[in-house]
Amino acid sequence: MTAAIPLSNLADIALRRGDLTEARRLSNEQLAVARADDDDLNVADACARLAWTAALEGNFDEARRLLPQLLRILSELGALHPFPVLALAAIIAAHCGRRSDAAKVFGAIAAHRARTGAQWWHDSVVTRAIVDTEQALLESGYAPSHEEGRKLSPEEMFELALRAIA
């Protein structure tokens, strides 16, 4: 077991509770340990949490800077549950005015989550940000885009997420 895993667990708890300062501190510590151990999976995990922390703090530029490499790593690994990172790409796209693309990404996520049985974290700031953004898009007339996204393959879902934050 790598030394980064306990830090990852603690950082996840801090993020779920909304303690962004502690989540960032622990994620940075995890990142340093993972890099020293040449542990790419934990590097990606820490970067994903740092991107979420930045976005939740309103720093969408920092979050967007971290996402392309993460999306590529998750795609290459064939990650079964990349949904929080993909949802963050959709949130950033919506924030940057690419609402149709954001709705498509959310639609793709919804379809793939239904197929895999993946669930969002219960009662976390991340889940609230995801649900609130997706609902706002649907209420703003982007339901057709959402429905269109449900037809995307996993590869197309990743490609769209990358384009949406470019």
Q: How many CB atoms lie within 10 A of CB 160?
A: 22
CA 102/CA 94 separation, integer angstroms: 5
Identify whether residues 81 and 49 lie together within a single domain.
no
Q: First and final CA of the chain: distance in angstroms?
A: 36
pLDDT digits (tens, 9 = 90+) for 34-51: 999 998 889 889 999 999
Question: In 3-state terms, what secondary structure has residue 18?
Answer: coil
In a domain, 70, yes or no: no
Q: Are residues 91 and 145 in the same domain?
A: yes
62 is a domain residue: no
Question: Distance between CA atoms of 78 and 161, rounded to whole angstroms?
Answer: 15
Contact by Cβ (8 Å): 106, 149: yes
Question: 45 and 79: one domain?
Answer: no
Query: 91 and 142: one domain?
Result: yes
pLDDT digits (tens, 9 = 90+) for 48-67: 999 999 999 999 999 999 99
pLDDT band at 1, cuts 50/70/90? low
Tell me if 64 is assigned to some domain: no
Determine the Cα–Cα distance for residues 113 and 66; give it in Å rounded to an integer: 23
Q: How confident is the model at residue 77 (pLDDT cuts 50, 70, 90)?
A: confident
For residue 12, give its domain range: 1-57
Whether residues 44 and 99 share a domain: the answer is no
